Chains A and B, each alone.
Chain A
Amino acid sequence: MRFMKMFALFLAAMAVTTAHAADKELNVGFIYVSPIGDAGYSYAHEQGRLVVDAMDGVKTSYVEAVKEGPDSERVILNMARKGYDVIFGTSFGYMDPMLKVSKQFPKTVFMHCSGFKQSDNMGNYFGRMYQARYLAGMVAGSMSKSKILGYVAAFPIPEVIRGINAFTLGAQEVNPDVSVRVVWTKTWYDPATEKEAAKSLLDAGADVIAQHQDSPGPQEAAEEKGVYSIGYNSDMSTFAPKAHLTSAVWNWGPYYTKVVNAVKNGTWKAESAWPGMDEDIVGLSPFGPMVPEDVKQKVAAKKAEIIAGTEKVFTGPIKDQAGTVKLAEGVTATDEEMLGMTWFIQGVVGTTK
């Protein structure tokens, strides 16, 4: 009898839920690879989530510090089971687990950041960070006296290599003889090692330190040495107030709003999106007081060209380190070429191995 009563209640509850389904809130979940307070990559995504959270009829939540691999599959699966409508996985290593779960939950929208796989209900996306890197390179090249720029880099993957090349092209634009020295740490967030790597670049004569890493360790090294630094992910000026020229930053809010709106309106389709500065996904953080006005103007002019589409960054002539012409005069790299970039341009000192 008791069971029957429960069952009746359950049915009633179901009916109520169905009746309200039409104006039900959209549940959006985010999964981050590091703690959101890292002032870096996950922090930038978290800022995007907050923008989505402020939308009408949208509820968001997040899980931070989720390890790539099996751990992430459990978290993604859990979110899907709980009935989330959209799930954003913001780290490369979530790709395969997400693809697997996406097939079990065909009604849920899965969005994977920085990967290359998709299914009917899983899209992937990333931003053209190399555009911001190019502008950051212009700032660094203008400020360098030793003509040596240091670049503390995480792993030799196309994303990072592309960023280093774009940064170097930007620096060469304003300072043709400049060289960019690269040190790989094989870490994304290890402040001690990354700071030490920056110090080694300073000892080698670099007077501007840039980074493709999530920790502000390299910024500290530049601050202590009294030279300049370029941050990444989010504005890193608090860690190096005297050194910080600018940071190449992510701005996920507009893109996340667009995706969530598309899901709400039923217009979402799985695709591979690579928006850039024209959609305000990437950019530079405010300049430090030491950056002169003419540099700011030059960068602003170049930014306008990038947004207008007249400056594509990877347009020939571009040679690799050995001097082989990779892109002939006037030829622009295709997206595929950029996404698979595994070689350094001339002017970069370091190996891609």
Chain B
Amino acid sequence: MNQEMIIPLLAAAIVSGTPILYATLGEMITEKSGVLNLGVEGIMIVGSLAAFLVAKFTGSPVLGFVAAGLAGLCIASLHGVVCLFFQGNQVVSGLALTIFGTGLANYLGTSFVGISAPGFSAVPIPGLAEIPVIGPIFFQHDPLVYVSYLLPVCLWIFFHNTRFGLGMRAVGEYPEAASAAGVNVQNYRWLGILAGGFCIGLGGAYLSLAYTHLWTNSLTGGRGWIAVALVIFAFWRPGRAVFGAYLFGGIMALQLRMQATGTHLPSSLLLMLPYGLTIIVLVLSSLKRERTGAPAALGVNIEPVD
């Protein structure tokens, strides 16, 4: 591994981390409002299919990207109906959503496996892309990567500097108090679920529009679950989510590159790396339980106040 390989490695870390970043931020929004959504994997795969189909039939990857968000929002709204309207168990509903989403995408998408659709390709940002080291790592990607740079910043501002964001955090931390203060808990939770589903769907779109220009039934390949784990790793902070997603993407890219440069380590061991890291991170972050920043009312249903 020499210097010429490190820059492409870091660039690859960003690219393979981007779909996970979208999904992680989406799940974070939902969890901040106090709702746990384990359906990320299912929402992502439906998003990736919607993006692929819309891009295929309209010829516009941008419409595909938006469609993925809307599809994610629709699937996530089922979670809202179960958990907010019927006060159903959030864990069960989320798991069901993953199974449902995967099945739905398989059913609708089977005949589209193995064909290409128009997608995004790399657009270097003039000026920034020429900066040595930084340019090739950060600014020679496709437009969806640039959008993902803005997202955590927007989220941070939203959660810390806006009325809506503070309201949402209050609903996730202490819904009774928020309710007493006149905040409509159900509405905020709906917002959390729908906005989260939208972002998760975008993560799916990244896989079928930018990472590859293909769709297949196993396209997400467990990235949705990684996103659920990364929310915990990130202590529910957008900035740390960026770090986590790129770290994870980097390890994924690293193990392939170690093989390509002819390492003697068994490939099975290298393939375990990203998942092994996830487990270590989860153990470490739960050791620091007091300071993890988990919304106190995460996973707790609240009876709507009439």
Taking Cβ atoms with an 8 Å cutoff, the residues of A that contact B are 34-35, 37-40, 43, 64-65, 150, 156, 181-187, 189-193, 195-197, 199-201, 203-204, 206, 215-217, 220, 224, 238-239, 349-351, 353
Contacts and interface: CB of A to CB of B under 8 A. Distances in A.
A37 B214 CA distance: 12
B1 to A, nearest CB: 10
A65 B217 contact: yes
Interface in B89-114: 106, 110-114
Residues of A contacting B: mostly: mixed
B5 A190 contact: no
Contacts of A349: 262
A200 B267 contact: no
B221 A351 contact: no
Given A35-B111, A190-B219, A216-B116, 13 more contacts: A37-B113, A39-B114, A40-B114, A65-B106, A182-B259, A184-B259, A191-B219, A192-B207, A192-B211, A193-B256, A196-B256, A200-B259, A224-B122
A350 B267 CA distance: 9
A217 B271 CA distance: 18
A191 B212 contact: yes
Contact of A37 (B15, B16, B112): B112
Contact of B264 (A186, A187, A224, A351): A351
B240 interface: no
B36 interface: no
Contacts of A203: 5, 8-9, 12, 257, 260
Interface in B258-288: 259-268, 271
A220 B219 CA distance: 15
Contacts of A353: 266-268
Contact of A238 (B8, B116, B219): B116
A181 B266 contact: no
A186 B268 contact: yes
B267 A156 contact: yes
B121 interface: yes
13 contacts: A37-B112, A40-B114, A65-B106, A65-B110, A181-B261, A183-B256, A193-B256, A196-B252, A199-B12, A200-B260, A350-B259, A350-B262, A353-B266
B260 A201 contact: yes
A351 B266 contact: yes
A204 B221 CA distance: 25
B189 interface: no
A150 B262 CA distance: 11
B212 A217 contact: yes
A306 B88 CA distance: 66
A204 B257 contact: yes
Contacts of B15: 196
B292 interface: no
Nearest to A240: B116
A144 to B, nearest CB: 15
Contacts of B8: 199, 203
| Residue from B15, B121, B212 whose CB has the most chain A CB atoms within 10 Å | B212
B161 interface: no
B214 A35 contact: no
Given A200-B256, A204-B257, A204-B261, A190 B218 contact: yes
B115 interface: yes
A38 B212 contact: no
Given A215-B214, A220-B213, A224-B121, A181 B262 contact: yes
Interface in B40-68: none
Contacts of A204: 5, 257, 260-261
B175 to A, nearest CB: 38
Interface in B208-226: 211-214, 216-219, 221
B221 A190 contact: yes
B228 interface: no
A35 B217 contact: yes
A190 B116 CA distance: 15
B110 A37 contact: yes
A71 to B, nearest CB: 13
B260 A150 contact: yes
A349 to B, nearest CB: 4
